[in-house]
Homo-oligomer: A and B are copies of this chain.
Amino acid sequence: MLSKKTKYGLKALTYISRTKSDSPVQVSTISKSEQIPQKFLESILLTLRKAGILGSKKGKHGGYYLRHEPSEIKMTDVMRVLEGPIAMVPCVSLNYYEKCDDCPDENKCSVHRLMIQVRDNTLSVFRNTTLEDLSNE
């Protein structure tokens, strides 16, 4: 299941991306428009900022803005920040690999081989989708 954190994060990014304005977008604005609890959203946008995806401006008339063009923000990056590893098991994770305690030989593990296929398919979707794609329509 996709966490609400990820869902809210994606919606917020989409919102900011669609807002074609020079001034940064405020948390309260996004919160109201997308029906996201404000304090929760605050913490999510903070995470995205710390990951380098968003930038922020403090104080009055402050807010958040994209650090790069929407077409250059890949879903692989966004998903890893918000949801964590893309793989369903650590033993097939590219970025967070971990050996299974039980499994003596990964190549002979049926679960391993199945999950590699799922990972590759999911990865290809996220690699080929940018924030620009999400923001269209």
Q: Which residues of A contact B (CB under 8 A)?
A: 1-2, 7, 10-11, 14, 34-36, 75, 85, 88-89, 101-102, 107-111, 113-115, 117-118, 121-122, 124-125, 129, 134-135, 137
Copies of chain A in the complex = 2
In the bound assembly, the distance between CA atoms of A75 and B124 in angstroms comes to 21
In the bound assembly, the distance between CA atoms of A126 and B106 in angstroms comes to 20
Question: With contacts A14-B110, A89-B7, A110-B134 known, is A2 near B115, CB below 8 A?
Answer: yes
Contacts of A109 in B (CB 8 A): 11
Shortest Cβ distance from residue A105 to the other chain B in the assembled complex, whole angstroms: 10
Q: Which one of A101, A107, A113, A118 has the greatest number of beta carbons of chain B within 10 Å? A: A118
Indicate if the CB atoms of B113 and A134 lie closer than 8 Å: yes
Shortest Cβ distance from residue A125 to the other chain B in the assembled complex, whole angstroms: 5
Indicate if the CB atoms of B117 and A125 lie closer than 8 Å: yes
In the bound assembly, the distance between CA atoms of A109 and B35 in angstroms comes to 13
Contacts of A102 in B (CB 8 A): 34-36
Question: With contacts A34-B102, A129-B117 known, is A10 near B110, CB below 8 A?
Answer: yes
Contacts of A110 in B (CB 8 A): 10-11, 14, 134-135
In the bound assembly, the distance between CA atoms of A117 and B110 in angstroms comes to 25
Question: With contacts A35-B102, A102-B34, A122-B121 known, is A114 near B129, CB below 8 A?
Answer: yes
In the bound assembly, the distance between CA atoms of A75 and B125 in angstroms comes to 21
